[in-house]
Amino acid sequence: MSRILMLFVAAMLVAGLPVESGFAQSGAPAFDVEQASRAYIDTLQGAELEKSNNYFEGGYWLILWGAIVGILVDFLILQSRLSARFRDWAERVTSRKWLQPALYALPYVIAGFLITLPWTIYTDFFREQQYDLMSQAFGGWFGEQMIGLVISLIMFSLLIMAIFAVIRRAPKTWWLWGTGVISIFLFIGMMLGPVFISPLFNDYQEMAEGPMRDRIVAMAAEYDIPADNIYVFDQSKQHKRISANVSGIGPTIRISLNDNLLERTDPEEVAAVMGHELGHYVLGHTWRTIFILALIIGFGLFVIARLAPRLIERHGARWGIRNMSDPAAIPLLSLILTAYFFAATPALNSLVRITESDADQFGLDSAREPDGFAEVSMRLSEYRKIEPGPIEEMLFFDHPSGATRVRMAMQWKADNVENPVIQNPGKLEQE
């Protein structure tokens, strides 16, 4: 008998199986990953399931209609020669070529904001209210839209000024240098956003001392992540979504949790979310995302560099556009880029989804809370379709679906927890 046992152990070692797991569950019921997953997935049923599916599937059409609205607005600004008038105004204000694109950007951004305002009000306010995802009154929401408009005026003006400086100096290869310019702006936004922009919309307070903060500090310390600044921000005034992030670079690094996460979830769920967010930092996802986005944007600028001159040569007189270095060409460049990004939506979604999946795996390994991870994945189903088809998930999901995440958590549990048992989560609270 002992010889048979030794042969069995040797065979397990050769096969790469953990010896302990071969005996630990003897006498214990087998852990079925799919059954354990369904215990969570099936907590969303009936009217709540239908509401979640309708909200998310409606977003598929918003991708299309949003692109169409953006293209039509730019086309209207071109056809009405508003663009040429904005350029003429900028030239009257200053004779400095380098400053004219920045001045042009001011009326262009304001005009785009006003023309699309009815669409924005419907998609970002009334539709959110319809699905009980909006906490703000219209006045508060519109006030934040105005703050966003001011930020757009500043950032877009600086970006356009830099891009057109490149176009004037390198008319043949401007798209390549322009990609570098946009990458720099992405980096600056990453540096300054958490410190100067986010507090314009929410109040950030240091997280109170206690067991939850201690656990976050310990998790961060395990991976040498600075945890001197841990903030809680009041996003419940805007909506009910749970959220957290690790943001910034160098001295601006901060860990932020919204109040919904702390008030609507259990400590195990908070740990699971923070493990995921720490994963983004440790795995260098910000830098990887900037690099891949730069490649995607660079190809888009290359497309513009090939199409825009031909369109200007053919229609420029009617639109009042002189050449590629004319700021009046901005709506044309925007129109082409909007169409390009619409076509690239599946690629952009896949980029984010793969990154999020990597962070999910890291979060499971660091927090070791598979059931907490499954529970918080189900809470996200308030506004994300829980169980799409594989092609649907690939095309439209910029995060793994709830079902995918729950199955990942239960598979991790099966692989890493001794004598795992199937939980009966019951009906999760959906305040």
Q: Supply the pLDDT for residue 25.
A: 39
Tokens of 175: 């798209």
Q: Supply the pLDDT for residue 218.
A: 96
CB atoms within 10 A of CB 85: 14
Three-state secondary structure call for residue 261: helix
Q: Supply the pLDDT for residue 360.
A: 97
How far apart CA 360 and CA 286 sit, in angstroms, is 15
Q: Supply the pLDDT for residue 353.
A: 94
* 132 Cβ neighbours under 8 A, 6+ residues apart: 240
Per-residue pLDDT tens over the stretch 145-185: 999 999 999 999 999 999 999 999 999 999 999 999 999 99
Domain range list for the chain? 63-192+285-348
CA dihedral sign, ordered 402, 291, 364, 376: negative
How far apart CA 37 and CA 105 sit, in angstroms, is 51
The helix (run of H) or strand (run of E) holding residue 257 is: strand 254-258
Ranges of the chain with pLDDT below 70: 1-29, 426-431
Backbone torsions φ then ψ of 245, nearest 5 degrees: -165, 155
CB atoms within 10 A of CB 147: 13
pTM for this prediction: 0.87
Tokens of 421: 């048992």
Q: Supply the pLDDT for residue 428.
A: 57
Q: Supply the pLDDT for residue 99.
A: 97
C-alpha 124: how far from chain center: 16
Strand order in the sheet with 204-206: 204-206, 230-233, 254-258, 244-247
How far apart CA 201 and CA 199 sit, in angstroms, is 5
Three-state secondary structure call for residue 95: coil
